[in-house]
Structure 1
């Protein structure tokens, strides 16, 4: 009996040491520092969560890039929190720790300077994403958070790479993202008769990325236009990316920012859905007969094929180009992102 008691004491001491070490890693881990991420539980709905955290449904949607009121169990939501200032804290450090900004924290608390003091209680609201209707426009880092915080009901097995061809760089003025997205949606819905904009994601020359069609809906009309049953089969586990621009050799020269975004977004999708880049998981529009839905890869002669995603897309649009110039860069980016997630 005495041996068991001694063992319990040792376990308590070891746990206490571990707890103290863990809690002293950084000010962000201080005991008075609550997480600003809420994980959705059974029975939750947006009004209930908004009420709990003293915010509004609309603000919750903007903080998290929610395209509707639907939330899923296990989904992670950024929420406003009350925080007690600890030694070493600054407004900038707090803004970085809680996905906020110095300006937002000052406004939420009526602060007229950057001075804060230990023991002060601050409301810290997360940043709001740029949204218009269903469209969510994000930086690469914002998209990473969005992707890993969301829950999805559909299995994703392949990523489709497209270029818009039109609109191209000539139509982009640096601030008309939503206008171009709405124009594409109008064409897809009213011109093509589809239910929504075809693609889930659109990348822009300035390096931003927009979510359009909900991830839980397969893309529509992206491959096999004349063979509907084959089209539905291909698209059932697909996500479509439209890279704004004309990336044929006589078209637009891709900007470094858009190049970075295409690589990062593709790598993030690979990681999120447990995929490895190859011709089956990262597929080019050029490799499919648009009438029959047949995957022809590099044997396109005699078939109805497009140059999409462009004859100058990361070195070219055939499978050798993809294996030599695109997939290795995606794999490298995946390794870099993994290191930040550990």
Structure 2
């Protein structure tokens, strides 16, 4: 009887080990899973012994919809290599030392070769549809996404209000929810107008899903194949002076989106709200009176809001950043 029990436990252990090894893709070469036809969140969650909720907050999923070819960060089983540290493992798998210690009930940070660790990645900062990310988190998120909508235009806007005086260092969701309420209740739009928002501290927020065209006063021609980016601040002359952190983020986000959608910076791919007629919604570039256009993204946005300012001041910075990111981007596609 005892031999039978021991034998059954041995078989069960082998089966469990093989299941964990197969779901971790050969014990941890990557914690990315590529979505296949017929996959659903519950199905993937079951396969990797996790929950749909954890998949959503780890991957910044704004709905349960998945697209074939999309990549998801999933839990994996990792075998510790000689000399490998907890810090190295956490960095490789987008996790933290604290999360790995907690999940594996490790009494210390000391590891031994051959030790098997369950690795769960760090959840993103989400509230409803809004996701607040660092530049590195946004880069990973964008690289893993598939989109159903053609994107030909990246719009640059400033909020005017809220401005810098309304940002208190961590009130991202308060600002985003306030803008969403204003856009829906006052402006009559279906959701918050912009897809992406940048903040004075350099953080990035996703709100309106990128697969849904933006709304707003720039008009339907610019929105149909566009992505709207709102930069929190009033960048008209004499008002907010853009922080270096936000400046770097604006360049970074625009460069990364340009790479993702195969766009080369020009007036036809990266546009300012100022170049579109307030009433007719037609593109007028620099050929309009002040009362026919908005100053957005600001008369001091990277030196000014004209096409000349964009060509001389903004596009070269985006192009330089694209070159820095190009190899990394293509390696991960």
Same fold by TM-score greater than 0.5: yes
Q: Match for residue 297 of structure 1? A: 285
CA–CA distance in structure 1, aligned partners of residues 65 and 214 of structure 2 = 20
- How far the C-alpha of 1:234 sits from its partner, in A, is 2.7
CA-to-aligned-CA distance 1:210-258 (integer Å, 9 cap, x gap): 00101111111241xxxxxxx3233110000000000001110000000
Say if 2:194 and 2:228, in contact at 8 Å, map to a contact too: yes
CA–CA distance in structure 2, aligned partners of residues 309 and 254 of structure 1 = 12
Alignment match of 2:82 (pick from 82, 87, 107): 87
- How far the C-alpha of 1:34 sits from its partner, in A, is 3.2
CA-to-aligned-CA distance 1:70-115 (integer Å, 9 cap, x gap): 1111100000101111112110111111111111100110012110
Structure 1: state its 5+ residue gaps.
1-29, 224-230
CA–CA distance in structure 2, aligned partners of residues 285 and 35 of structure 1 = 41
Within 5 Å, which residues of 2 pair with 1:6-155? 32-155=27-150
Alignment match of 1:235 (pick from 223, 241, 253): 223
Say if 1:34 and 1:81, in contact at 8 Å, map to a contact too: no
- Residues 77 and 148 of structure 1: is their aligned pair in 2 closer, same or farther, counting only changes over 3 Å? same
CA-to-aligned-CA distance 1:47-74 (integer Å, 9 cap, x gap): 1111111111111001000001111111
When normalised by structure 1's length, the TM-score is: 0.88
Say if 2:220 and 2:281, in contact at 8 Å, map to a contact too: no
Q: Match for residue 193 of structure 2? A: 198
Say if 1:289 and 1:303, in contact at 8 Å, map to a contact too: no
- Higher mean Cα deviation, 68-77 or 297-306? 297-306
Q: Does 1:188 align with 2:176?
A: no
CA-to-aligned-CA distance 1:100-159 (integer Å, 9 cap, x gap): 111110011001211010111100101110000000100001001111101110000000
- Residues 249 and 161 of structure 1: is their aligned pair in 2 closer, same or farther, counting only changes over 3 Å? same
Alignment match of 2:232 (pick from 244, 251, 260): 244
Q: SS at 1:82's partner residue?
A: strand
Paired residues in the alignment total 306
Q: Does 1:268 align with 2:252?
A: no
Structure 2: state its 5+ residue gaps.
1-24
Q: Match for residue 314 of structure 2? A: 326
- How far the C-alpha of 1:340 sits from its partner, in A, is 3.1
